[in-house]
Each structure stands twice: as C-alpha cells, then as structure tokens.
C-alpha cells in the first residue's frame, strides 16, 4: 500500500530543496573566494600576515595546512552542490540558444516556399545606374 504523492507537493519539495542547496552553494562560493584570497604565495609566511608573529597563531606551517584543508573541503562542497543543482533543475526548459535556433529554423522553412513561388524578375537591357562623371 503505497500512498500517491500529490504533484503539487512534489513540486514544492523540489523547489524548497533547490532553494536550500542554492543557499549552501552561494555561502560556499563566498567562503571559497575568501579563503583563496587569504592564502599567501609559496614564499610568504601566512601566519605572519595574520598576526604579525610567525609562531603565535598557527605555528610554522599550521596556517598553510589549515587553509589548504579548508580550501579542499570548500571545493568539494562546491562541486557537490553544483551537481545537485544540475540534477534538481527542470529539464523541460531549453537554453536561449536552443530557442533561437528553433525560431530561425521555423522562419527559414516558412520563407523557403515563398521564394520558390515568386516570379523571376524580367531582364532589362537598359542601363540602370548612370555612369560616374569623369574627373579632369
């Protein structure tokens, strides 16, 4: 005895799940940007840039390990939320380019029979454009 799911409830569940995952995705993006910007180059000491002393906050290499691990975790969350949002998206929508291509194809197909039935223009023997004046 399985109960049937109302389509409106399923749509509401999907939209609320998509909103939740989008919020996590945005927060992850912001944190990932901040962590990458906080990291120093290979030659600089990261703990010196945060506190002024190289031994007080993270130790000699603790800061680099902390930020490296945090960046890896944020990148993994970013990838998972990106894939989840792709799977939750509505597949019936087409992209702008697909809509433009189908519109152009329809316009070309409707214009093609009109060109085939149009009479050919009559050839004239008279000159249509006046000759350019000669320069002296």
Tens digits of per-residue pLDDT, 46-93?
Answer: 555 565 554 455 555 555 688 889 999 999 999 999 999 998 887 666
Average pLDDT along the chain: 74
Higher-confidence position of 112 and 34 = 34
* % pLDDT > 70, the chain: 51
Mean pLDDT of the 2-24 span: 79
For position 133, what pLDDT does the model report?
Answer: 73
Q: Return the exposure string of 24-35: e unless at least 16 CB atoms fall within 10 Å of the residue's CB, then b.
A: bbeebeebbeeb
pLDDT computed for residue 41 by the predictor: 65
Given a contact cutoff of 8 angstroms between Cβ atoms, the answer to whether 57 and 50 are in contact is: yes
């Amino acid at each position: 005895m399985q109960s049937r799911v109302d389509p409106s409830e399923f749509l509401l569940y999907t939209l609320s799940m998509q909103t939740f995952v989008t919020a996590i995705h945005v927060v992850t993006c912001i944190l990932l940007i901040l962590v990458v910007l906080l990291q120093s180059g290979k030659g600089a000491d990261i703990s010196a840039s945060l506190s002024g002393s190289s031994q007080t906050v993270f130790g000699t290499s603790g800061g680099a390990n902390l930020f490296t691990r945090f960046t890896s975790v944020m990148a993994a969350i970013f990838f998972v939320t990106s894939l989840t949002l792709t799977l939750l998206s509505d597949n019936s929508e087409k992209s702008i380019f697909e809509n433009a291509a189908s519109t152009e194809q329809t316009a070309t197909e409707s214009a093609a029979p009109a060109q085939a039935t149009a009479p050919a223009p009559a050839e004239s023997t008279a000159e249509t454009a006046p000759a350019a004046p000669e320069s002296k």
